Amino acid sequence: MSNLVIVESPAKAKTIQKYLGPGFKVVASMGHVRDLYPSTLSVDVKNNFAPKYTIIQGKRPIVKELKDLASKSEKIYLATDPDREGEAISWHLANLLKIKPENELRVRFNEINEQSVKKGIAQPTKIDVNLVNAQQARRILDRLVGYSLSPFISQKIRRGLSAGRVQSVAVRLIVDREEEINAFVPEEYWSISAKLTAPPARKVFKAAFVGDETGKVKIGSKEQADEYLKRLDGANFSVADVKKGVRRRHPAPPFITSTLQQEASKRFGFSAQKTMKLAQELYEGVEIKGIGVTGIITYMRTDSLRISDQARNEGINYIRQTYGEKYIPEKPRFYKSKAGAQDGHEAIRPTASNLTPDRVKDALSNDQYKLYTLIWKRFIASLMADCQQDTVKVDIKAANESDAAKNRFCLFSMSGYSIRFDGFTVLYDDAAEDEEADEIIPAVSKGDILKLKELNSEQHFTQPPARYTEASLIKMLEETGVGRPSTYATILYTIVNRGYVVKENKSLKPTELGIATTKLLKEWFPKIVNTKFTAGMESKLDDVEAGLFDYIEMLHGFYGEFEETLSKAKENLVGVKIQLEEDKTDIICDKCGRNMVIKVGRFGKFLACPGYPECKNTKPYVQKTSAKCPKCGGDVIAKRSKNGYPFYGCSNYPECNFMTWDQPIDAKCPQCGESLFKARGGIIKCHKEGCGYEQKAERKRKSKNKPEEADE
């Protein structure tokens, strides 16, 4: 009989099987196998919020296989991911397999390599009930909010909407930022710059106006700028002061979940979801030539900056051998995690410092390689010596003879730096893309006379706050304590997928639906969309995980007030319906003359008269494309099959029976002039009978002047 090891994914199973050998059978549960019943609340509110679990649809064959294997195994190990969700999966598996949770069968790996896997198997522990309770509490909270609020906002705004405990706060942040942008009033200001040389040198440098004899000055109009230009007519420029110094730049700490998602978004344009998918693959294992299948990063859901002594020593040895002793700091560098961070896992780092990006490149996809290089460089750089910079700041006085006699002058300034010792930046510079290049400062001394080459003034306007990007929203969620590292990617995916937010380039913009939903929740459920309240709930969940707070008590404390608020909202908003502008159409009801609106029913969108119940007229919702029917010349419209798959047909159906799975494109056939369609495999074709035009679509060429855009 062999020992059974249950993990979550096939990739992880394959890697661990290699390390454990023939005495073990490693299988995957394919994630969660049991959850709350999907079609009902499934929480017995009157019985201390007892959850009602069922096997997830489609997972019964997997559960049956696991039970069969368990009955034939000598010992069972539950080796799911080392976090709340992983602990809950192990707990559910123990229940289904009739294993007592107090048995020592739980195995945890922070990194999947041979040493860690064998050590974990040799030292199994009990399932952490506190972790399970924290996961159950979060799941029940989310179900209570979702199953109560979703029908309410669906009734008031649009059928089929959903509201989430944390996603609603994220949408509110984006909506609030949009309101700030719309309310922003730009302020005018002007800048004055002088292009100068320091004879006998001919190199031109630029200094900026900062003030006059009264101190710093902000120029608010063209008239004020012209006054200073007039004062500077015929002025002499001289060096008033030169300040030199040395500054030290410290490397950034190794990545945690949030900072990895932010940096991958900024550098590569990766979505948070894509970053986590790639990181999961790197954690679970890749096939490396000469080594075999191995995990090359530590667990990727963490908010701790701790690293093991062994990893630190390996990293320092690599630095010593590659860069030399001077690149090692005098004292080892330790980073402090933020308050409330869970210290169960290390920071995200390579499992072995000598697994350089070049060494594993052939084993990785292009995107995996990008992410691994980022993680590896950030970790090694975090152990390296500071970058030392020589700084210089030059103050310049400008005045004509008349003003100089009255001690009136204009003050200009310029600053820059040069590298004394590159330190960690020889490998990784996290500020390189954010900093503008500093002016090259000439060798000047106090009292030197400078020569003016050009004097310019320029108008500017203050800018509104920027819309959130995925990176900046994750940063805000982290700073406000909303959500946790493992939830950020899901939050971002959900609010875009459900239509509350759209992506414009990299920016997140609220839709009319997102704005209307947020307004409704702010008015009637202010706590649900309050960052401090939501962060407080997250802190309580952390206390449950630490065994400091009873999760049943927490649920009672939340639900009583929430239920009362919901009852008041329902009572006060009887008969109220919020009509979105985006749901209105220019299609006239042929029975009463009103403009029809788009509704969502069980079978998708349809047109309905807003005069219901006086007028009950409805029509199918037709989504036109730019194409014309190759048979009769009618409009080609988008449709859906019974199984929900998109296809295209003629608007004159049933008189015309043209249909195709190929997607219409905004182009005409060069042979017959009819509309073109794009088929699978990138084939562009014409459907006009007898034409036969067909061509492989051209791939977009990469511009030499424009950086390649990352795939989402």
Listed in order, the ranges of the chain carrying CATH 2.70.20.10 are 188-250+389-461
Grade residue 609 by pLDDT with cuts at 50, 70 and 90. Answer: confident
pLDDT interval class at 266 (50, 70, 90): very high
Phi, psi of 602 (to 5 degrees): -60, -30
Query: What are the φ and ψ backbone dihedral angles of 215, each rounded to 5 degrees?
Result: 125, -155
Active-site residue 299, yes or no?
Answer: yes
> pLDDT tens, 478-499?
999 998 888 999 999 999 988 8
Residue where the block lists tokens 């003050």: 411
pLDDT at 708: 33
Residue of 19, 77, 228, 299 marked active site: 299
Percent of the chain with pLDDT over 70: 94
What local confidence, expressed as pLDDT, does residue 205 receive? 92
Burial 440-464 (b: 16+ CB within 10 A, else e): ebbebeeebebeeeebebeeeeeee
Average pLDDT over residues 157-174: 91
In which band, very low, low, confident or very high, does the pLDDT at 336 lie, cut at 50, 70 and 90? confident
Indicate the pairing of strand 449-461 with strand 188-197. antiparallel
pLDDT digits (tens, 9 = 90+) for 365-417: 999 999 999 999 999 999 999 999 999 999 999 999 999 989 999 999 999 88
pLDDT of the residue at 644? 62
Rounded distance, CA 588 to CA 586, Å?
A: 6
Min mean pLDDT across 320-324, 433-437, 567-571, 597-601 is at 433-437
Q: Does domain 257-382 have CATH number 1.10.290.10?
A: yes
State the Cα angle at 342 between 337 and 343, rounded to 5°. 70
The 10s digit of each residue's pLDDT in 7-43 is 999 989 999 999 998 999 999 999 999 999 988 999 9
Question: Sign (positive/negative) of CA torsion 29, 35, 37, 40?
Answer: negative
User: How far is CA 422 from each of CA 323, 329, 378, 390, 646, rounded to the nearest angstrom?
Assistant: 11, 13, 15, 11, 56
The candidate with the shortest Cα–Cα distance to 374, out of 389, 357, 352, is 357
Q: Is the predicted pLDDT of residue 602 greater than 80, yes or no?
A: no
Whether 437 shows a pLDDT value over 80: the answer reads no
Ramachandran sector of residue 505 (left: φ over 0; alpha: ψ -120 to 50; beta: rest) = left
Q: Read off the pLDDT of each residue in 510-524 and give the average, rounded to a whole number.
A: 94
Separation of alpha carbons 533 and 172, rounded Å: 13
Residue with tokens 């080609």: 636
Give the angle subtended at the CA of 574 by the CAs of 568 and 576, to the nearest 5°.
115
Task: For CATH 3.40.50.140, list the domain ranges present in the chain.
Answer: 3-127
Distance CA 47, CA 33 (A): 24
pLDDT value of residue 436: 46
User: Which region holds residue 612: left if phi is over 0, alpha if psi is between -120 and 50, else beta?
Assistant: beta
- Evaluate if residue 246 carries a pLDDT over 50: yes
Banded pLDDT at 706 (limits 50, 70, 90):
very low
pLDDT for residue 698: 62
**What average pLDDT does the chain have?**
90
Q: Can you read off the two tokens belonging to residue 31? A: 């994630």
Question: May I ask the CATH class of domain 137-183+466-572?
Answer: mainly alpha
CA 58 to CA 70: how far, in whole Å?
Answer: 20
List where CATH 1.10.460.10 sits in the chain: 137-183+466-572
Greatest CA separation for the chain: 101
Looking at residues 465-469, what average pLDDT do you find?
96
Q: From 2.60.40.10, 2.60.40.1120, 2.60.120.10, 2.70.20.10, which CATH number describes the 188-250+389-461 domain?
A: 2.70.20.10
Give the separation between CA 521 and CA 527, rounded to whole angstroms. 9
Looking at the domain 3-127, which fold is it?
Answer: Rossmann fold (3.40.50)
| Mean pLDDT calculated for residue range 489-510 | 91
Nearest to 597 by CA among 615, 579, 614: 579
Q: What is 301-351 written as a DSSP string?
A: --------HHHHHHHHHHHHHHH-GGGS-SS----PPPTT---SSPPB-BS
Say yes or no to pLDDT of 667 above 60: yes
Residue spans of alpha helices (H) in 196-285: 222-231, 257-268, 272-284
Instruction: Give the mean pLDDT of 181-188.
Output: 96
Mean of the pLDDT values across residues 545-550? Answer: 93
- Which residues in the chain are classed under CATH 1.10.290.10? 257-382
- pLDDT tier at 4, thresholds 50, 70, 90: very high
